């Protein structure tokens, strides 16, 4: 065992971590128990020290809260101007992220890490602004109070009676490169409050009566100290791992409880709990599964499960290790986790057996330096030890009918050992006299290797002993006796026995390790396949079906994933059940698991009478559903390695459900945003275009109504014409909106007929005759252009909209053109003008609803004409596009598919 050799995986992880950090800024958090302890003051002092070292330091935002001594520290430091955001008729000052990125200093100060940004900011939280600065390679100094940590929010709310709504994820605090604790005793903080150095006098009195009570401050101070200690401890472990330090550092207490299938397991867990509570230390319960322990009967392996479950209930972290040697595995784990105290049972081996084969306790005492080891013994005459001794007795070969399949296979291995040894004897007897004794010994060793690779340690040991006995009896003189004539043969026989035993032991270990490796590979493949399918699942039903299929494949059990409805009640999936699905799960038990976030059902301590086992599908903070599983064999689920696999499955299901639900929420929010944007655009667009004609109609109508006969006939006609024109304009506006709604809803049916393009354009010019009176219009249609298979009324509406659009947005009197071209597959109709053209990059935006190049005061219209044109053309299977002319102006081109076999027209005279 080479403990000094660094782990290659750890080295690779360190290189990757260092590479990522090299491109990223460093985050330093000034951490305190409450407001007023001096976090901002300490942060500004540190900034001034860096500034004195000629480092580029900028203050992005510092909240002085009117404290004179804090404000004085800002003098001489460059401060970025804040940006103002208008919110609910007030103007808020916010940190200007873009200005900080443009300035790009070496260090920037951004106070109040947990602050919530004003609506309309790039990020909803300030810590997200800081992360963007870190990604840009800028070091950041910030400040944070302990009550703003997300994981402590509920506990602090219970202590203080006040819920803090601005929180920061714990990962932000944990990933900080440096945490500096700014501490102040509660009495001194209360004095500062009374002196008005934290809040205004009236606010200070209210704070002292509520949040800033002395008891609250003591509790907050302890939490802040503990969080800082945890952060420093994590940094220490990272440093030890990076530098391959194996020796234990006695800086904080950690208790490791070693449990196994012995009768002392529960007593060890309780003793470890008491020791950890007295030391106020973290504690871990570890079980090392060696090849010998893997061959234990099911009852004793179930006992280990109960012990580990008890440790979890008492607050321990439970870990299951797989290793050929228990002592070495415990030492490696203890050094990696910086364990200071190990609790374990006294050695069960005594006398010559302990001297010859050793014990785990002796291994730990010899190698676990700087670690205190506590041994727990059982009282003399403890019934538990007697029961353990009786349990170690193996069934006799005469009871084959009472043995399980596994035990039967074991006895078959012993029969094979006898048979292989007899076969080796026959082969050796045939070669006796032709080969030396050493070569005959090789035949028996070959048989030992075969038995060891196929049937394990016990049968191979039997083959070793039988082989030595037969060699002595048949091939060493005097023959047919176990006595030895020449003493040199004693050395040969002893060497043969030792080599055979070593080979059998090594081959058994290799076989066991290969079995464990194959099992781990299969588990990894199962997880990979499930994760791959979960990542591509788009709905909750797909996730449920994928989970049921993979769980049935791995655990051989019928399974169902139960999700809550809108009221929070557990229900069965709506989809048709699969062959692997569990039908008839107890929904009341599932609801209890959902409400309490605890496992229940068969094999547990809660509602154990249920036939199925119910697992909560949880992300840690939220229970998303319940998985019910009907076990074929409880050990297949609750064995330590299988339980870890089950927990991984549940986490994958929870993550997939969370992803799908967040996607649905994002889609719903986006739909709401688009709906609100559409509503606002519609209101802003039609408000002017409805208000103007309505004002004209009301004014003209009131003039006519109040006329006492003073108006001339021409004036009356002019007012009446104005009312008619404005009413017609409102009618067109409403018709456009209704047409757009019908087109988007897909309720418009096209009346496709064959129409000559000349007739369609002629009908459009007739309708537009009055509007085109002051325009020069050129129509260029090449001879032989085919008929179009379209809804003539709709195509006419498109051309009318394009011409009205050209008239509205081009100078008065400027010429217009209508052109057409044809190919074997398309017919292209173009409307061109000599106007100002389209700004570059806005060609496609013209076809968006309610989009206009001109502000609403410049031209009438709501921006629906072109979207209606696109909807009509796309309904015909064509396309429409806009582009600028090289000689000035705009061209709108309509491309319609040419119909199959269009009828031909005779040339008119």
- The per-residue pLDDT for 850 is 63
- pLDDT at residue 298 tops 70: no
pLDDT value at 3 more than 50: no
Q: What is the CA radius of gyration of the chain?
A: 43
Residue 390 confidence (pLDDT): 44
Mean predicted confidence (pLDDT) in 640-647: 77
Q: Helix 640-706 to helix 540-555 angle, to the nearest 10 degrees?
A: 170
Give the residue-averaged pLDDT of 277-281: 82
Q: Give me the sheet containing 139-145, strands edge to edge.
A: 78-79, 57-61, 107-110, 139-145, 27-32, 178-181
DSSP annotation of 746 reads T
Q: Which two tokens stand for residue 608?
A: 């154990």
H or E segment at 285? strand 282-289
DSSP 3-state of 283: strand
- The DSSP annotation for 695-754 comes to HHHHHHHHHHHH--S-S-HHHHHHHHHHHHHHHHHHHHHHHHHHHHHHHHHT-PPP--EE
pLDDT score for 864: 67
Average of per-residue pLDDT across 734-754: 67
Instruction: Tell me how crowded residue 375 is: count the other CB atoms within 10 A of its CB.
Output: 13
Residue with the larger pLDDT of the pair 644 and 858? 644
Q: Does 161 or 561 have the greater pLDDT score? A: 561
Give me the phi and psi of 282, to 5 degrees please. -75, 150
Query: Could you report the per-residue pLDDT of 280-293, keeping only the tens digit for each?
Result: 788 999 988 776 66
Residue 105: per-residue pLDDT: 92
Mean pLDDT over residues 769-796, rounded?
85
Residues near 758 by beta carbon (within 8 Å), at least 6 away in sequence:
781
Which of 288-292, 423-427, 597-601, 688-692 comes out lowest in average pLDDT? 688-692
pLDDT value at residue 579: 79
Q: What is the pLDDT of residues 469-514, one digit of tens each?
A: 888 788 877 777 777 666 776 777 777 777 777 877 777 777 777 7
Task: Return the SS3 of 327.
Answer: helix
Find the length of the chain. Answer: 909
- Distances 734 to 585, 689, 861 between C-alpha atoms, Å: 57, 11, 11
pLDDT, tens only, 523-546? 778 788 888 888 888 888 888 888
Q: Residue 455: which pLDDT band, with cuts at 50, 70 and 90?
A: confident
Per-residue confidence (pLDDT) for residue 246, from 0 to 100: 60
For the record, the structure tokens of 460 come out as 């191979």
| Mean pLDDT calculated for residue range 572-595 | 85
Strand-strand pairing, 57-61 and 107-110: parallel
Instruction: Give the span between the Cα atoms of 740 and 862, in whole angstroms.
Output: 12
Backbone conformation region of residue 693, classed left if phi is above 0, alpha if psi is from -120 to 50, else beta: alpha
Does residue 719 contact residue 700 with C-beta atoms inside 8 Å?
A: yes
pLDDT computed for residue 37 by the predictor: 84
- Contact by Cβ (8 Å): 856, 875: no
Q: Is the pLDDT of residue 153 over 50?
A: yes
Q: What is the mean pLDDT of residues 117-138?
A: 88
Compute the average pLDDT of residues 160-181. Answer: 82
Q: Which pLDDT score is estimated for 380?
A: 56
pLDDT at 443: 85
pLDDT tens column, 345-360: 887 666 555 565 567 7
Cis? peptide before 478, omega within 30° of 0: yes
Across 174-197, average pLDDT: 80
Give me the chain's average pLDDT, please: 78
Q: Is the pLDDT of residue 641 over 50?
A: yes
């Amino acid at each position: 065992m080479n403990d000094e050799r660094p782990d290659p995986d750890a080295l690779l992880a360190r290189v990757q971590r260092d590479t990522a950090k090299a491109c990223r800024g460093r985050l330093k958090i000034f951490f305190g128990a409450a407001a007023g302890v001096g976090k901002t003051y300490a942060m500004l002092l540190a900034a001034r020290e860096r500034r004195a070292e000629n480092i580029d330091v900028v203050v992005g935002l510092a909240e002085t809260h009117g404290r004179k001594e804090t404000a004085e520290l800002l003098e001489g430091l460059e401060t970025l101007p804040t940006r103002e955001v208008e919110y609910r008729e007030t103007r808020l000052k916010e940190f200007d992220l873009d200005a900080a990125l443009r300035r790009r200093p070496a260090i920037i100060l951004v106070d109040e890490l947990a602050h919530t940004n004003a609506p309309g900011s790039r990020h909803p939280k300030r810590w997200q602004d800081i992360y963007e600065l870190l990604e840009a390679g800028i070091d950041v100094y910030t400040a944070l109070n302990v009550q703003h940590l997300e994981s402590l929010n509920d506990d602090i709310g219970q202590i203080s009676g006040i819920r803090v709504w601005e929180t920061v994820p714990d990962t932000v605090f944990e990933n900080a490169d440096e945490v500096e604790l700014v501490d102040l005793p509660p009495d001194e903080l209360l004095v500062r409050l009374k002196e008005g150095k934290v809040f205004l006098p009236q606010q200070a009195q209210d704070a002292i009566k509520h949040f800033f009570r002395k008891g609250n401050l003591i509790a907050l101070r302890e939490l802040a100290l503990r969080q800082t200690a945890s952060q420093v401890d994590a940094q220490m472990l990272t440093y030890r791992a990076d530098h391959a330090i194996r020796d234990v550092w006695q800086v904080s207490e950690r208790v490791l409880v070693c449990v196994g299938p012995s009768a002392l397991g529960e007593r060890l867990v309780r003793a470890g709990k008491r020791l950890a509570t007295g030391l106020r230390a973290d504690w871990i319960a570890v079980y090392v599964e060696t090849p010998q322990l893997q061959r234990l009967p099911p009852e004793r392996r179930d006992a280990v499960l109960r012990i580990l479950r008890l440790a979890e209930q008492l607050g321990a972290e439970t870990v299951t290790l797989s290793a050929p040697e228990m002592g070495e595995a415990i030492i490696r784990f203890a050094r990696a986790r910086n364990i200071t105290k190990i609790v374990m049972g006294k050695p069960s081996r005594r006398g010559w057996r302990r001297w010859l084969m050793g014990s785990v306790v002796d291994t730990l005492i010899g190698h676990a330096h700087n670690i205190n080891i506590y041994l727990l013994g059982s009282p003399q005459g403890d019934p538990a030890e007697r029961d353990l001794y009786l349990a170690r007795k193996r069934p006799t070969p005469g009871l084959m009918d009472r043995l399980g399949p596994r035990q039967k296979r074991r006895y078959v291995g012993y029969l094979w050992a006898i048979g292989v040894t007899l076969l080796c004897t026959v082969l050796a007897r045939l070669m006796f006299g032709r080969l030396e004794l050493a070569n005959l010994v090789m035949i028996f060793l070959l048989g030992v290797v075969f038995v060891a690779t196929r049937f394990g340690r016990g049968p191979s040991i039997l083959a070793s002993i039988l082989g030595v006995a037969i060699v002595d009896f048949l091939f060493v003189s005097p023959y047919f006796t176990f006595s030895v004539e020449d003493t040199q043969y004693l050395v040969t026989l002893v060497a043969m026995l030792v080599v055979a035993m070593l080979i059998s032991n090594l081959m058994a270990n290799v076989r066991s390790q290969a079995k464990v490796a194959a099992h781990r590979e299969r588990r990894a493949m199962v997880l990979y396949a499930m994760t791959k399918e979960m990542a591509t699942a788009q709905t909750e039903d797909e996730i449920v079906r994928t989970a049921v299929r993979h769980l049935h494949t791995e655990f051989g059990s019928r399974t169902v994933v139960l999700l809550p409805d809108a009221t929070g009640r557990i229900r069965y999936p709506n989809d048709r059940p699969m062959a692997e699905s569990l039908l008839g799960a107890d929904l009341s038990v599932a609801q209890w698991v959902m409400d309490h976030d605890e496992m229940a059902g068969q094999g547990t301590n809660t509602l154990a009478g249920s036939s199925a086992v119910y697992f909560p599908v949880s992300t840690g903070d939220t229970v998303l559903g319940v998985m019910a599983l009907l076990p074929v064999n409880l050990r297949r689920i609750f064995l330590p390695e299988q339980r870890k696999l089950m927990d991984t499955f549940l986490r994958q299901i929870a993550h997939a459900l969370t992803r799908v639900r967040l996607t649905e929420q994002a889609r719903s929010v986006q739909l709401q945003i688009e709906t609100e944007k559409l509503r606002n655009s519609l209101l802003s667009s039609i408000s002017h275009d409805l208000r103007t004609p309505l004002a004209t109609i009301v004014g003209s109508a009131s003039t006519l109504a109040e006329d006492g006969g003073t108006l001339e006939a021409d004036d009356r006609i002019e007012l009446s014409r104005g009312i008619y024109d404005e009413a017609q304009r409102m009618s067109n506006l409403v018709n456009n909106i209704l047409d757009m709604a019908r087109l988007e809803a897909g309720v418009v049916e096209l009346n496709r007929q064959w129409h000559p393009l000349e007739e369609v354009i002629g009908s459009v010019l007739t309708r537009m005759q009055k509007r085109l009176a002051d325009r020069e219009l050129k129509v260029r249609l090449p001879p032989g252009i085919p008929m179009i298979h379209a809804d003539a009324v709709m195509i006419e509406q498109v051309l009318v909209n394009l011409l009205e659009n050209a008239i509205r947005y081009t100078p008065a009197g400027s010429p217009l053109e209508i052109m057409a071209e044809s190919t074997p597959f398309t017919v292209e109709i173009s409307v061109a003008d000599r106007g100002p053209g389209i700004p570059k990059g806005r060609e496609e935006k013209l076809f968006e609803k309610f989009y206009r190049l001109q502000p609403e005061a410049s031209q009438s219209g709501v921006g629906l004409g072109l979207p209606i044109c696109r909807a009509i053309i796309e309904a015909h299977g064509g396309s429409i596009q806009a582009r600028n002319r090289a000689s000035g102006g705009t061209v709108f081109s309509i491309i319609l598919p040419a119909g199959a076999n269009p009828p031909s027209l005779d040339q008119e005279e």
